[in-house]
């Protein structure tokens, strides 16, 4: 169970995971050792699994992003998931209900690169068909 202070700490980290312990302590009006201890407990309990890179607007504005719906042959689902995980341009893969089995979020440097990645996905063993939607504009993201 996480506390209200833990929730505030997590919110600060989501805003800036590179914030120093001192800055976090000041923002939370806690001692450095208390913040360090809370962080350690959150990591050990699995609440915080790791820290990642968040791209800047200048870089993101140049990316072409698409949602790719994927229909998979059921007996090859595990093999297909492993193959999709190895495509580094897939930033997320979701299992879904409905006509398709999964949605992949694909990020590419250009439309030409996106087309190549879509071909790579479509040619994987176990993929029956795909349907792609290029993201034209992100209205907001949380």
Q: What is the pLDDT along the chain (142 residues), one digit of tens a residue?
A: 789 999 999 999 988 889 999 999 999 999 999 999 999 999 999 999 988 888 888 888 889 999 999 999 999 999 999 999 999 999 999 999 999 999 999 999 999 999 999 999 999 999 999 999 999 988 987 7
Angle, helices 21-28/32-44, rounded to nearest 10 degrees: 110
- Sequence-ordered list of residues with C-beta below 8 angstroms from that of 73, at least 6 positions apart, any chain: 80, 126, 127, 128
pLDDT at 14: 87
Instruction: Round to whole Å and give the CA distance between 52 and 72.
Output: 30
Q: Which domains does the chain have, with CATH numbers?
A: 4-45 (1.10.10.10), 57-135 (3.30.70.920)
pLDDT at 138: 86
């Amino acid at each position: 169970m996480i506390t209200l202070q833990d929730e505030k700490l997590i919110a600060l980290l989501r805003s800036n995971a590179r914030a120093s312990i001192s800055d976090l302590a000041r923002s939370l009006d806690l001692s450095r050792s208390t913040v360090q201890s809370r962080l350690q407990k959150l990591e050990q309990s699995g609440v915080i699994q790791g820290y990642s890179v968040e791209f800047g607007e200048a870089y993101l504005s140049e990316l072409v992003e698409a949602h790719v719906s994927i229909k998979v042959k059921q007996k090859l689902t595990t093999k297909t998931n492993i193959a999709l995980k190895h495509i580094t341009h897939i930033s997320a893969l979701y299992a879904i209900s409905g006509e398709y089995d999964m949605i992949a979020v694909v990020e590419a440097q250009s439309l030409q690169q996106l087309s190549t990645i879509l071909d790579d996905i479509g040619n994987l063993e176990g993929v029956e068909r795909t349907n792609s939607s290029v993201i034209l504009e992100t209205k907001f993201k949380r």
